[in-house]
A = this chain, B = another copy of it.
Amino acid sequence: MKAVIVVHGGAWAIPDELSEASVQGVKAAACEGYRVLGTGGSALDAVEKAVRSLEDNTVFDAGHGAVLNADGEVELDAIIMDGSSLGSGAVSSVQNIANPVSLARAVMEKTDHVMLTSRGANLFAESIGIKTVPTDTLVTEYEKREWEKQKKYITGVKEIFNSQWGHDTVGAVAVDSYGNVACATSTGGIRHKMVGRVGDSPIIGAGGYADNRSGAVSCTGHGESILKVTLARLIIFNIEQGTEVQDAVEHSLRYMGERVQGAGGAIAVSPSGRWAATFTTERMAWAAAEQGALWYGLNPQEKFQDKLSQ
Contacts and interface: CB of A to CB of B under 8 A. Distances in A.
User: Mostly helix, strand, loop or mixed at chain A's interface?
Assistant: mixed
Contact of A116 (B87, B114, B197, B260): B197
Interface in A105-138: 111-121, 123-124
Contact of A114 (B92, B93, B224): B224
A116 B204 contact: no
A303 to B, nearest CB: 31
B197 A115 contact: yes
Pick from A87, A195, A223, A230 the residue with the most CB of B within 10 Å.
A230
Contact of A204 (B92, B117, B118, B228): B228
Nearest to A88: B228
A233 interface: yes
Interface of A: 75, 85-88, 92-93, 111-121, 123-124, 156-158, 193-199, 203-206, 209, 223-224, 227-230, 233, 237, 259-260
5 contacts: A86-B259, A112-B156, A114-B224, A118-B118, A204-B206
